[in-house]
Amino acid sequence: MESISPSSDSPATSLVSPKCVRVCQNRTCRKQGAAKVLAAFEALATLEVTVTGSSCLGQCGNGPMVLVLPDMVWYSRVHPNEVPLLVEQHLRGSQRVTQMLYYRFHPQG
């Protein structure tokens, strides 16, 4: 006889997915200061957030490009001075920073 047990170990359906920040480190974004943006995120992000440099995100010329997953929120022309606001408002407060959104994927917010 088989007992059917509820799948109590299903993967984290009740938990909020951890956020991941990708900061493009490819050529064009690096010329626009992406290394400093990545360093600023690494200095400020909390333990629950994974920060990684990424290869080209396909939006060259609008960088430094930042992609927040799993939210699929894109930020363009991110300046290191803006990173504290993004960390506080989006990563900790789960609210998009409207004025920094990438217009192509988030037309007016």
> Where on the chain is the footprint of ligand FES (CB under 6 A)?
24, 26-29, 56-60, 63, 65
Output the smallest distance, CB 26 to ligand FES, in A: 3
* Cβ-count burial 64-93 (b if 16+ within 10 Å, e if not): bbbbbeeeebbbbbbebebbeebbeebbee
- Tokens encoding 14: 């009740």
Residue with tokens 């059917």: 4
> Would you say 56 or 97 has its CB closer to ligand FES?
56
Output the smallest distance, CB 40 to ligand FES, in A: 16
> Would you say 92 or 101 has its CB closer to ligand FES?
101
In the chain, the amino acid numbered 25 is Q
> Would you say 33 or 92 has its CB closer to ligand FES?
33
> Would you say 39 or 60 has its CB closer to ligand FES?
60
Q: If we measure between CA atoms, which residue out of 70, 105, 76, 65 comes closest to residue 91?
A: 70
Output the smallest distance, CB 86 to ligand FES, in A: 17
